[in-house]
Structure 1
Amino acid sequence: MSPTLLGALLMTASMAAFTLNDTMLKLTAGDVPLAQLIFLRSFLTCTLMLATKGRIGTMHFDIARRDWVLIGARAVSEVVVSYFFLTALFHMPLANLNAVMQVVPLAVTLASALFLREAVGWRRFAAIIIGFFGVLLIVKPGAAGFDIWSAYALLAMIGVTARDLITRQLSPTVPSMTVALSTAASVMTAFGLVSLTGAWVAVPSHIWFLIVGSAVAVMAGYFLSIWVMRVGDVSFTAPFRYTGLVWALIMGWFVFGEWPGWLTLLGAGIVVVTGVFTFYRERKVSRG
């Protein structure tokens, strides 16, 4: 198997793992308060990260002060994202939420041009505008299909964009697993404190299975996404992130009996096409 093909398969598997995580969390169906649920999942994730230290990826804490500030800012954004994303997840079809999140690469490109002064040509600007039009088809503002949960999905998308923009400013020497552990620990701490403001509930055995499965799926997603960076051409494998939408459609249909309407599918298709085009243009520009 060529490195390029292996990278594409790994990226596809990574997206499947992250979608499986979303599916398991959605299956908890509000049986556990949100803060308690996120705390337990984050605690298990941190435990797995520490148990696999050095096996998945390098982890050390000898990091410059500037990078620690960025990691802290990234952690804050992840706390916000966790709340809005998971709240929307419990109230929206899995594929609809995933489709909204697919616009993140376009939003990061736009934000990089606005805040980091990165060069973005007119072709990519046009793709971004068309991609955001696709998002409007998904959330349907002003229509009966738009509600508070659609707004939560948009806020989660904005939060992930901010998180990824911060991540781009980290020094190349900062280990990915150190960032992941710091973020998971921050989320665990934040929602652990929030959970103390309300009563905890006993967690049924089947919910424990879903929480543990979610933590394992997240770890698998991290492992596969890091492996992707080590093989093949990253600019080629990056568009395979959009296979997450395919997995979300499959999971939503088989597990929850959900299937998006044609406007949502059209909007998702526009987002994917414009996103792939943006990856292509970035690859072409970077190679001169």
Structure 2
Amino acid sequence: MNDNIRGASFMVASMATFTLNDATIKYLAQGMPTFQVVFLRGVGATLLIVLLAHLTGALRKPIPRDDWKWVIGRSLAEVASFYPFILALTHMPLANVTAILQALPLMITAAGAIFMGERVGWRRWSAIAVGFVGVLMIVRPGGDDFDRWSLAALAAVLTITLRELITRRLSRDVPSLKVAIFTALGVMLLGLFMSLREPWGAVTPGQGGLLVVASMFILGGYLFSIMAMRVGEVAAVTPFRYTALIWGLMLGWLVFGDWPKPMTLAGAALVAATGLYTLWREGRRAPMPRPNAPR
């Protein structure tokens, strides 16, 4: 596999685990204070990541001095994106907030071309534009479903774009697990700070089990998303964010009973088609020699 196919595979895995985590958090937030859930999940996720980093030896590998600013900057961008995202997630149907986030491929591709000088061909632009039309069909700006929580989701889109561009600045000497540790710590501290403003509730054994499950899902989401943005080209990898929409639609129906409207399904079909087309295009490209892989 060339770098773009590897990056796309990581992105698909990231979107699956992130959306499964989102569904679990949304479900838990129906019976627990939202930021108590965020903090407790953050504790579990941080412990799991530190343990995995220890077992793989990544914990002993130093972060180069020049990379510290990018590691810290990425963690701050993660916190800045998570706050509006969790507000949107707990006030909107899962499929809707997931759909709005699918504006990310267009935003990240454009930012990569403008700020990082990455080459974006007309076929990629066309595929991403068609996918974005599909997103507009789902969101339908100006409709009844487009409110202040939709704006919060759009704010998350902007800050996630910044986060992903910062991730591209990390050198290959930075262990991905080390980056994931700082990411989990940042979100955990946000949850702790915000949870102090609301009364805590008792945690039942069932809720505790779901918190462990969410911690495992977010571990996969953090790790796969970091790895996805460190291999391949931004324009080739980011379209596979669209696969999160499929997960969002499916989980929204199965877990929360949110059956998508016909226009939403049509938009989802367009989104899926662009991802499959991009995968087909990348499969036709000759594999490129890859230097040291990120760890």
- Using the size of structure 2 for normalisation, the TM-score is 0.79
Cα separation, 2, equivalents of 1:56 and 1:96: 38
Q: Which moved more, 1:180-189 or 1:30-39?
A: 30-39
The code of the aligned residue for 1:116 comes to M
Where does the alignment leave 5 or more consecutive residues of structure 2 unmatched? 230-234, 289-295
Cα separation, 1, equivalents of 2:89 and 2:183: 20
Q: Which moved more, 1:262-271 or 1:5-14?
A: 5-14
Deviation digits for residues 75-100 of structure 1, max 9, x if unmatched? Answer: 11111222222222222222222233
**Equivalent residues in 2 for 1:204-223 (5 A)?**
204-221=204-221
**2:291 aligned partner:** none
The code of the aligned residue for 1:207 comes to Q
Contact kept, 8 Å, 2:105 with 2:128, in 1: the verdict is no
How many percent identity over aligned positions? 45
**1:174 aligned partner:** 174
Where does the alignment leave 5 or more consecutive residues of structure 1 unmatched? 230-234
Cα separation, 1, equivalents of 2:243 and 2:17: 11
Q: How well do the aligned residues superpose, as a CA RMSD in angstroms?
A: 3.7
Distance 1:228 1:43, change over 3 A: same
Alignment partner of 1:202: what SS? coil
**1:51 aligned partner:** 51
**2:292 aligned partner:** none
Cα separation, 1, equivalents of 2:145 and 2:25: 23
The Cα of 1:50 is off from its aligned counterpart by 1.6
The code of the aligned residue for 1:212 comes to V
Distance 1:285 1:265, change over 3 A: farther
Does residue 1:186 correspond to 2:186, yes or no? yes
The Cα of 1:282 is off from its aligned counterpart by 6.6
- Counting matched residue pairs gives 282
Distance 1:162 1:269, change over 3 A: farther
The Cα of 1:149 is off from its aligned counterpart by 1.8
Distance 1:136 1:245, change over 3 A: closer
The Cα of 1:180 is off from its aligned counterpart by 0.4
The Cα of 1:241 is off from its aligned counterpart by 5.5
The Cα of 1:157 is off from its aligned counterpart by 2.2
Distance 1:172 1:114, change over 3 A: same
Q: Which moved more, 1:42-51 or 1:94-103?
A: 94-103
Does residue 1:36 correspond to 2:67, yes or no? no
Deviation digits for residues 132-189 of structure 1, max 9, x if unmatched? Answer: 3332222211122211122222222222222111101110111110000011111212
Q: Which moved more, 1:140-149 or 1:240-249?
A: 240-249
- Using the size of structure 1 for normalisation, the TM-score is 0.81
Contact kept, 8 Å, 2:85 with 2:153, in 1: the verdict is yes
Alignment partner of 1:141: what SS? coil
